[in-house]
Amino acid sequence: MKKIIISFWILSLGAITNASHFLPDTVPESLYTWQLDDDFYNLSPVDLDTVLKNFQVYKPNDKLNPLNSDMGNLALASLPDNFFKRNYDDKTFFFRYYFPFIQYPNKQTYVNTKTPFTELKFTTGGQKKVLEQSLRILHTQNINEKFNAGIDYKLFGSEGQYANQKSSVKALALFTNYVSDKYRFHAAFNINNILINENGGIINDQDLGNMETLDIPVNLGTINSAASSVKNKTFMMSHGILIGGGKSDTTHAVDSTAVEINKPKGLGLRGKLSHVMFFQNDAKKHIDESPLSGFYRDIYSDSTMTIDSLYARTFSNILRFDFQSDPDRKFAFGGGVAAAIEMDKYSNLLPGDTIYHEDDYSNKSLSGYIFNDLGEKFNWKVKARNYYSGYKAGDFLLDGSINKSFSAKKGLSTLVLAGKFESRRPAYWMNFYHSNNFVWENDFDNVIETKISARYSHPERFLEASFNYVLIDDYPYFDTLAYPAQINGLASILSLYLGKEFHLGKFHFLNKVLFQQTDHQDQIPLPLISVYNSTYFEHDFFFKLTGGHLLVQLGFDVYYNTPYNAMAYMPSTGQFYIQDQKELGNYPYVNAFLNFKLKRTRFFFMFDHVNSGFAGNNYFSVLHYPLIQRTFKFGLSWTFYD
């Protein structure tokens, strides 16, 4: 890793020396990027992250959701404060709190580029004994005009400021796509390895500020090791062929300026026959060499060594047919149907046994959707899915949205109204789980969820607002003993979000405010108000002699939420659970940063938690897991595309 640091510094010096040759940054017009939706079919354009704004936000979880319950150092479990941003997909049960760090098919960005594209990104901070680093290497290039392939490798690691808190996430993605007039193909292969040393949090919160962080006593791993690991592998392949005359608008199918990227040209109806294959393999282990440490209430099998092992596998095939009318007509419509077979296997090594308990399910479902475009600025869509066999038998989803765009003097704004009704069985591991410290066998009722939402965005005015309201019957959660439970009856959650950026000369004020309220605060603890603010001064230095530019930002970030009984974390199961011991929050967490950009090269220098020790020592967002103390961080991103 030292060689990597030295190499990046040499490259940085070279970039600074040649700053006069850099012009304002532009992504090449011949490079297009997009992602697939959760059904791995529809394409949605995305932008490359090449801007300087928020470059100092180096943690993927903060980048994805700036308001989080965080356990401290990089690559530890993280839970969004925003209830409506939380992940409840049963396929991600083992690693849902690490989701921002890993590679996964529905997060994969696909590329079409005339010139090879490479991005190198590196961050580091802290002294050697508490070192924190991340590395990303992305390379993609076209093999021919329609065929692209790439590799994306990410590494996140930290020694941890507190004892036995070392973390590591290694994530690899291999991806490819082929897009032509008649045929479209996407594939992605992912490998994710998560390894976490578990310390169970510090024993006495009052030790903060009174001794060195590494000397503060922790609950686990002081004498012998306690660690958890998750290994995840996925493969996704999606391909489809156009049936009938006409041709797909592949020229702009991946252009970020095109909205209707899936619609064929020509008169009359056209159809597409598609097949999606998805495979996922997960393995979770938890090892504790000192089960009698007193941290756990129960020991069911072995008092000398804990070795918990769980396994899950999913293999699914989806066959679908989609049709749509000529999008150039004022009244455009379309729809589709799909049939899916999902083969799930769950294995759990029972305490004191050498044979895995296994359950196999064949989940079969039918789904369909219809949409209607009334001109370029109004459309609606409704989709439904029903499972009629397997573990998910009886699960039902009805989801709809209305989109309306408005023209104004300053750009285009969009209003999206949506509604959802869903009945789903809780994840398998909420019903069956055997380990050395936790054993449960449940038969939970289906979770019934009714949700309405509205979202308004006006990019040119840097404005975004949203409203969400949901009624949930039999909401599942982990109780104060870290065992799964259900709320007997209805629970409601309301959220209001506002994001707005203000400019005053060269000063920028980026604000995000989240208001949340629930009638079951004891089972669904949420901060009433969460705030993120980024204030910075920006100046573009222009060198007349050479025509070069240097963009600079100097400012600070503030994270804050009102006090509430924030979640606790259980190392054995890897799940967050409710607690009634202590209120957390009411603490401003401040970062000070300096950002630079020289066309394709971005730097940041930052004091993370710059106010550490100045505003008290109550800097927790998860019970007994303090956030890091003041640390200097450095980051660099360099892109190549010629």
Cβ(79)–Cβ(97) under 8 Å?
yes
CA distances (Å), origin 40, targets 238, 240, 309, 320, 441: 6, 11, 31, 11, 34
Is residue 4 over pLDDT 80? no
Helix, coil or strand: residue 9: helix
Distance CA 369, CA 351 (A): 46
At 498-529, the pLDDT tens digits run 999 999 999 999 999 999 999 999 999 999 99
The whole-chain average pLDDT of the chain stands at 89
Q: What values do phi and psi take at 181, rounded to 5?
A: -65, -35
pLDDT at residue 448, rounded to an integer: 97
At 567, which amino acid appears?
A: M
Tell me what the mean pLDDT of segment 564-588 comes to.
96
CATH of the domain at 45: 2.40.170.20
Cβ(584)–Cβ(563) under 8 Å?
yes
Is residue 27 over pLDDT 60? no
pLDDT at residue 425, rounded to an integer: 96
Distance CA 302, CA 172 (A): 36
At 199-214, the pLDDT tens digits run 999 999 999 988 899 9
Percent of the chain's residues with pLDDT above 70: 90
Structural domain including 371 reads 2-640
Quote the DSSP letter at residue 19.
G
At 598-625, the pLDDT tens digits run 988 999 999 999 999 888 899 999 999 9
Read off the pLDDT band of 268 (50, 70, 90).
Answer: low
Cβ(332)–Cβ(323) under 8 Å?
no
At 174-195, the pLDDT tens digits run 999 999 989 999 999 999 999 9
Contacts of 353 (CB under 8 A, 6+ apart): none
- Number of domains making up the chain: 1
Considering only residues 128 and 484, tell me which one the structure prediction assigns the higher pLDDT. Answer: 484
Is residue 591 over pLDDT 80? yes
CA distances (Å), origin 264, targets 249, 273, 323: 6, 13, 10
pTM of the model: 0.90
N-terminal to C-terminal alpha carbon distance within the chain: 27
CB-count burial class (<10 Å; 0-12, 13-18, 19+) for 519 = exposed
At 296-351, the pLDDT tens digits run 999 998 999 999 999 999 999 999 999 988 766 777 889 999 999 999 999 998 76
Query: Considering only CA atoms, which of 56, 24, 49 is closest in space to residue 535?
Result: 56
Longest Cα separation, the chain: 76
Query: Considering only CA atoms, which of 528, 465, 467 is closest in space to residue 498?
Result: 465
Q: What values do phi and psi take at 616, rounded to 5?
A: 90, 180
pLDDT at residue 352, rounded to an integer: 67
Strands 31-36 and 68-70: unpaired
At 412-470, the pLDDT tens digits run 999 999 999 999 999 999 999 999 999 999 999 999 999 999 999 999 999 999 999 99
> Which structure tokens are listed for 210?
């009174």
Is residue 60 over pLDDT 60? yes
Q: What are 111's strand-pairing partners?
A: 33
CA distances (Å), origin 416, targets 261, 381, 382, 397, 639: 19, 11, 13, 19, 35
pLDDT at residue 548, rounded to an integer: 78
Tell me what the mean pLDDT of segment 287-291 comes to.
93
Q: What values do phi and psi take at 530, rounded to 5?
A: -125, 140
Tell me what the mean pLDDT of segment 384-393 comes to.
96
Quote the DSSP letter at residue 129.
G
Considering only residues 398 and 353, tell me which one the structure prediction assigns the higher pLDDT. Answer: 398
Q: What are 559's strand-pairing partners?
A: 532, 589
Tell me what the mean pLDDT of segment 397-405 comes to.
96
Read off the pLDDT band of 409 (50, 70, 90).
Answer: confident
pLDDT at residue 318, rounded to an integer: 97
Q: Note the Cα 243 to chain centre separation in Å.
A: 36
Tell me what the mean pLDDT of segment 115-137 comes to.
95
Distance CA 202, CA 30 (A): 52
> Which structure tokens are listed for 450?
């009714």
Cβ(632)–Cβ(125) under 8 Å?
yes
Cβ(161)–Cβ(628) under 8 Å?
yes
Tell me what the mean pLDDT of segment 392-398 comes to.
97
Distance CA 545, CA 562 (A): 52
Helix, coil or strand: residue 483: coil
At 71-97, the pLDDT tens digits run 988 999 999 999 999 988 889 999 999
Is residue 17 over pLDDT 50? no
> Which structure tokens are listed for 322?
């989609």
pLDDT at residue 13, rounded to an integer: 36
Cβ(527)–Cβ(518) under 8 Å?
no
Q: If residue 8 lies in a helix (H) or strand (E), which one and from where to where? A: helix 2-17
Cβ(466)–Cβ(335) under 8 Å?
no
User: Is the alpha carbon torsion for 456, 459, 460, 463 positive or negative?
Assistant: positive
Q: How many residues does the chain have?
A: 642
> Which structure tokens are listed for 542?
């222009």
pLDDT at residue 29, rounded to an integer: 62
Tell me what the mean pLDDT of segment 567-591 comes to.
96
Contacts of 382 (CB under 8 A, 6+ apart): 369, 370, 371, 398, 399, 400
Q: Note the Cα 530 to chain centre separation in Å.
A: 19
CA distances (Å), origin 585, targets 83, 309, 468, 560, 613: 17, 35, 23, 7, 16
pLDDT at residue 189, rounded to an integer: 98
Quote the DSSP letter at residue 584.
B
pLDDT at residue 379, rounded to an integer: 92
At 524-562, the pLDDT tens digits run 999 999 999 999 999 999 877 767 789 999 999 999 999
At 365, which amino acid appears?
A: S
